[in-house]
A = this chain, B = another copy of it.
Amino acid sequence: MKIVIVGGGFAGINLAKDLAGNKNFEVTLIDKNNYNFFPPLIYQVATAYLEPSSISYPFRKLFSRTENVRFRLGEVLSVNMAENKVVLHNGELEYDRLIFATGAETNYFGMENVRKNSIPMKTLNDAIEMRNKLLQRMERASICKNSRERRKYLNLVIAGGGPTGVEVSGMFAEMRNGVLKREYPELSTSVSNIYLVDGGDALLSPMSRQSQEDTLQALTKMGVIVKLNCRVTDFIDDTVHLNTGETIPSKNLIWAAGVSAKIFEGMPAESYGRGRRMNVDAYNKVAHTENIYSIGDTCIQLTDAAFPDGHPQVAQVAIQQGKNLAKNFKNEQKGKPLNAFKYNDKGSMAIIGKNKAVVDLPKPKMHFKGFIAWLMWLFIHLMSLISYRNRVTTFYNWMTAYFSKDQSLRMIIRPDKRAKS
């Protein structure tokens, strides 16, 4: 049976791995990158605490020992449902089962200036771009004679108070007090503010009240200016406009405020639901299709009684849906009944800074904060990395950063020459 998986993130990779070695399936994994990466840590690449290679791994190496899984570098342009073919920018592939595991992409809610001028935080390339841009702007600030102008280079505005927004603000707050002072003596008397802006009335909205409050308190203590019930409305002429009428002079708007799924040509319009996510049944089959499935952030499943509005777009849902679908494909082959998907919530966590994190566990319902939560965060993230190599280098980098209170990865490598700094 020809299985074609589009997208090698948490969902796609887990499906492929669980089908690997089973001769009944001839699996092709399509991705527009030649590597899998670990999104929870891209903010550490963006802030030069980890190398891109520490959180990514080439697909071809991942499947070099499994004969029934092949990799194909390509971007899906459309689906030909009548002929069971998927059309790529560089060819086409036939399928018996097609699976969309294409994740989500940054949503700017139609704000064209924000799209053009802000820094997204969704892909590994985004992270490298952010690292290069911010380092270049620091250099510009260091030779800037006008203090008003200089402040625009140094002020940081982070939109979106989810884990990414919280983690990146905490990281910047720590760098401001350490690295910046040591390595940019030219800027020692300059003011730089870090703003974290969120439309809701709490940070980390899906977490417990207690985690939200601990996080707000910790970030405020570190000097981050948190603005709740507040949205970015425009970003033009180096000025961030908020819906409260306030403006912040800054060249650096980091956009972690929303995601949206992608529409694929050839798929029935009725297959798409809220946020462009594909409507799927309890077995992740896409509505109005016969042999097309969707797993992870790109689908929405309204059949799980505990989650009447659909599951949160998090790694655990994607992983579990990938594994469940693999099981169902195997069950189908054996003539066994299929398993309806049921999400097993293992909890959620966010890191705020050195020695500080918050963790919520659902069963038994528990909350951790501070050093113990921070250790839990480190351990879980380290163990979730895809290979032994990535775990070793990440661990080494973290130890270096922790004990030397510093990191030496602040190289501007392959800056985009077309971009203005």
Q: Does A389 lie within 8 Å of B414, measured CB to CB?
A: no
When distances are taken between beta carbons in the complex, the residues of chain B under 8 Å from A163 are: none
- Partner of A143 from the list B53, B90, B400 (CB cut-off 8 Å) is B90
Cα distance, A392 to B395, chains bound together (Å): 13
Q: Tell me whether A42 is interfacial, beta carbon within 8 Å.
A: no
**1/0 per residue A52-65: CB within 8 Å of B?**
11001110110011
Q: Tell me whether A34 is interfacial, beta carbon within 8 Å.
A: yes
Q: Tell me whether A384 is interfacial, beta carbon within 8 Å.
A: no
Q: Does A410 lie within 8 Å of B33, measured CB to CB?
A: no
Q: Does B412 lie within 8 Å of A35, measured CB to CB?
A: yes
Q: Does B58 lie within 8 Å of A185, measured CB to CB?
A: no
Q: Tell me whether A139 is interfacial, beta carbon within 8 Å.
A: yes
Give chain B nearest CB distance to A23 CB in angstroms. Answer: 16
- Partner of A64 from the list B135, B136, B140, B183 (CB cut-off 8 Å) is B183
- Partner of A34 from the list B60, B67, B90, B412 (CB cut-off 8 Å) is B412
User: Can you pick out 16 interface pairs between chain A and chain B where the beta carbons lie within 8 Å of each other?
Assistant: A33-B412, A34-B139, A35-B411, A53-B411, A58-B409, A61-B183, A61-B406, A61-B410, A73-B139, A125-B413, A125-B414, A128-B414, A387-B408, A389-B400, A393-B393, A396-B396
Cα distance, A164 to B351, chains bound together (Å): 44
**1/0 per residue A34-55: CB within 8 Å of B?**
1100000000000000011100
Q: Tell me whether A133 is interfacial, beta carbon within 8 Å.
A: no
Q: Tell me whether A184 is interfacial, beta carbon within 8 Å.
A: yes
Q: Tell me whether A91 is interfacial, beta carbon within 8 Å.
A: yes
Cα distance, A33 to B415, chains bound together (Å): 10
Which residues from 75 to 90 on chain A have a C-beta closer than 8 Å to any C-beta of chain B? 90
Cα distance, A53 to B52, chains bound together (Å): 10
Q: Tell me whether A72 is interfacial, beta carbon within 8 Å.
A: yes
Q: Does A64 lie within 8 Å of B413, measured CB to CB?
A: no
Task: Tell me the number of copies of this protein.
Answer: 2
Q: Does B143 lie within 8 Å of A409, measured CB to CB?
A: no
Give chain B nearest CB distance to A87 CB in angstroms. Answer: 14
**1/0 per residue A183-222: CB within 8 Å of B?**
1111000000000000000000000000000000000000
Cα distance, A143 to B93, chains bound together (Å): 11
Q: Tell me whether A17 is interfacial, beta carbon within 8 Å.
A: no
Given A60-B183, A61-B408, A408-B389: A413 and B70 interface contact (C-beta under 8 Å): no
Q: Tell me whether A381 is interfacial, beta carbon within 8 Å.
A: no
Q: Tell me whether A182 is interfacial, beta carbon within 8 Å.
A: yes
Q: Tell me whether A19 is interfacial, beta carbon within 8 Å.
A: no
Q: Which residue of B lies closest to A389 (CB)?
A: B408
Q: Does A52 lie within 8 Å of B182, measured CB to CB?
A: no
Q: Does B58 lie within 8 Å of A410, measured CB to CB?
A: yes
Cα distance, A186 to B408, chains bound together (Å): 40
**1/0 per residue A370-407: CB within 8 Å of B?**
00000000000000000101001100100010000010
Q: Tell me whether A350 is interfacial, beta carbon within 8 Å.
A: no
Q: Which residue of B lies closest to A145 (CB)?
A: B91
When distances are taken between beta carbons in the complex, the residues of chain B under 8 Å from A392 are: 396
